[in-house]
Structure 1
């Protein structure tokens, strides 16, 4: 295909899309192989380094400049968007592949993905080893295969497909593989601290080829409940900390319901299509000392959602006021104490303008490849997109493959959707960044 004089128009030239689709198809097996290799590295929290070694090697092989750096909590602590760490960051790195064009004539881009994965849960409930990926009926199974190693493999495959065609972006592109997305987001925040900015950011999260237009805020908190111990021969002499903990969690439910009420002043218009966008989740409980003793202490770990525009400090105050009122007014909690602390996500929500160019260009690329129009969705979770949109002057969204049972048993990704997402991302890069021909040195 002859080079076009205008790097921004090449993607619309005759024959470009069929050639791109073929280049993506030619690289699909390599993409699947890379995805399987990534899944075989069990990059749980604190164990991401071997997977990052693999990513760094892939970036080097693509001719990218590799920037590998650790998370400096002291440097991040004063930045907006910081979340208290849940584990020591020692020896854990982000990896960024930096591409620079010969001539910067297009719009710059960040392609971001997180390498960390959540725990597997009971391995015996999986149909196969969660870190030994298998393919059945067009799907690959394994922990992290959808959330979100398939997205990382897809953005690498998209760049590779353009190179096979003899082209490269006409603007800087930063390929980010970050840690700690699943608990704080401090990996992406560290990229901002390092100076990474662009005209847009796309994160290929496994949201079924939809375009993310908004996301809720998310906060992690821990409630330590202290009761009064007693022998079970007279349970009335004590206050059961475990039962009291459940009671306190129950008292938070009306707050959840209030924030979901359509008359709530905090409710964001982006979530008009959701009946229940705000979720309070009791995710972990530990308590008790002895089967024949009334338990003294119980610890609850909760995840609560809140609307874009709600100040995290105000959210914390509302939670603490609700608990304090419960302790004052509920006779079942007489004599019970509760202490609230915060670790992990303290993540604000955000919404993109409906006319954001990154949404329009992704929508056009999706339509060109698939013939359909992607749904625009306000997500009831958080992603690292918030850092770019809120603090980095970089409009950000998510567009990625179809996955099922993420964070669950037998997580899987549809491989045909990975190939389609690869083609959409490659076309988006061509449309957003423009292209220049590769000149052999």
Structure 2
């Protein structure tokens, strides 16, 4: 399908008639919360002729496959996904378009220059709370299907639209997959954090493990408030945590030399990294006291097909090795806790899904897209790892994400329109289309 199939004249009095107006309507609904956004999506999908299901679930009850998270990290409440299915006429491949309607908790809106719930357009950018994370994706999945139907054609394969929570381990798409949702392919619709917009396809995601190490110390045997004069009789846990730190640095160096993935090596010259991001011990206003313990926390990124189990074993061995070389740590072993972890995943540029999506991007934008291999923990991994469904991601140019502590979050209006056209092209190229006998 070429650009000529997706018409430009979709404007009418209803926000469904124009992609930008529909996205603005979702931003306005965000003022009332996630449920209001989901209601908009459900209503819009029904108008397109979809069968709509509201799926309630609890994230803590969704089975973990090639991932894990601490109980404290997982959303404890009940959540809801909207799943809308446009039944194909038959003979085509099926696809799941998914995106997440949940944004960051509303806070610090006084920092915004624009009303975060008005959908203000300025300088070609549409501003709104959660617009780039991920209301633009939610709007795209609805508007992409509408763009196809507006031509008088309908998909041959089933098109499934899933607006499903994701943030803070909400695990919406995982719940749907474990509930039996299946298709021949999936596309994750989310604005590109890299700034490349529609010139980029997410077809690669590294895995990530987050961990914490705790070591004990021993205060000197004294009733004095100050420990300085007795420090030689103490065991300072800060000294011991640095032994762990050095062992992790050595592990990182070894992995940097031995763990290699062609895409990452070409992009940044390295395929895995271990980052120590937090060290804590003692009090910031008690300079002469030995802390009772110390904590180190960090994360390790790793490429597919390396497994979570292998990476965890490597971290465990590094910590265990550091403890074996120190008399105190041998008798008082460090406590290693894995906080969360996800596996990596990828789709080859030679895969039929990638070729269809890349061709769609090329037709709409006039540019050949590239794979950005630097996304870690991307949601494209969920259908791949948990259900064997090939998945790629794409989305418009956006920025100033609230989750990064910024304000006046935005997406580029024209690139968002291009995203809608690309989604429509993917439906045609992957599912196939035939003329409809009626309009939804």
User: Given the two structures, how large is their TM-score scaled by the length of structure 1?
Assistant: 0.81
1:367 pairs, out of 362, 368, 381, with: 362
Cα deviation code 1:339-394 (max 9, x no counterpart): 222333x2111222231111111111111111111112223312222222233232
1:269 equivalent in structure 2: 262
Q: Does 1:439 align with 2:438?
A: yes
| 1:246-325 correspondence to structure 2 within 5 Å | 248-249=244-245, 251-261=247-257, 264=258, 266-273=259-266, 274-282=268-276, 288=282, 291-292=285-286, 293-325=289-321
2:149 pairs, out of 142, 160, 163, with: 163
Q: Does the 8 Å CA contact 2:27/2:117 hold for their aligned counterparts?
A: no
> Paired residues, what number?
416
2:126 equivalent in structure 1: 140
Cα deviation code 1:222-261 (max 9, x no counterpart): 3334334577722436555567657644542333333333
Cα deviation code 1:52-91 (max 9, x no counterpart): 4443344344442222223356764364545454234432
Q: Quote the offset at 1:50 in angstroms.
A: 5.0
1:202 pairs, out of 153, 169, 187, with: 187
Which SS does the other structure have where 1:353 is aligned?
coil
Distance 1:128 1:393, change over 3 A: same
Distance 1:423 1:73, change over 3 A: closer
Q: Quote the offset at 1:312 in angstroms.
A: 0.7
Q: Which runs of 5+ in 1 are unaligned?
A: 1-10, 43-47
Distance 1:374 1:100, change over 3 A: same
Which SS does the other structure have where 1:94 is aligned?
strand
Q: Does 1:396 align with 2:395?
A: no
Structure having the higher Rg: 2
Distance 1:163 1:217, change over 3 A: same
Which SS does the other structure have where 2:227 is aligned?
helix
1:34 pairs, out of 20, 25, 28, with: 25
User: Given the two structures, how large is their TM-score scaled by the length of structure 2?
Assistant: 0.81
Q: Does the 8 Å CA contact 1:41/1:131 hold for their aligned counterparts?
A: no
Q: Does 1:105 align with 2:105?
A: no
Of stretches 296-305 and 203-212 in structure 1, the one that deviates more from structure 2 is 296-305
Separation in structure 1 between the aligned mates of residue 216 and residue 128 of structure 2, nearest angstrom: 40
Q: Quote the offset at 1:156 in angstroms.
A: 1.4
Separation in structure 2 between the aligned mates of residue 54 and residue 167 of structure 1, nearest angstrom: 24
What root-mean-square deviation, in Å, do the aligned CA atoms of Structure 1 and Structure 2 show? Answer: 3.4
Q: Quote the offset at 1:328 in angstroms.
A: 4.0
Q: Which runs of 5+ in 2 are unaligned?
A: 12-16
Which SS does the other structure have where 1:224 is aligned?
strand
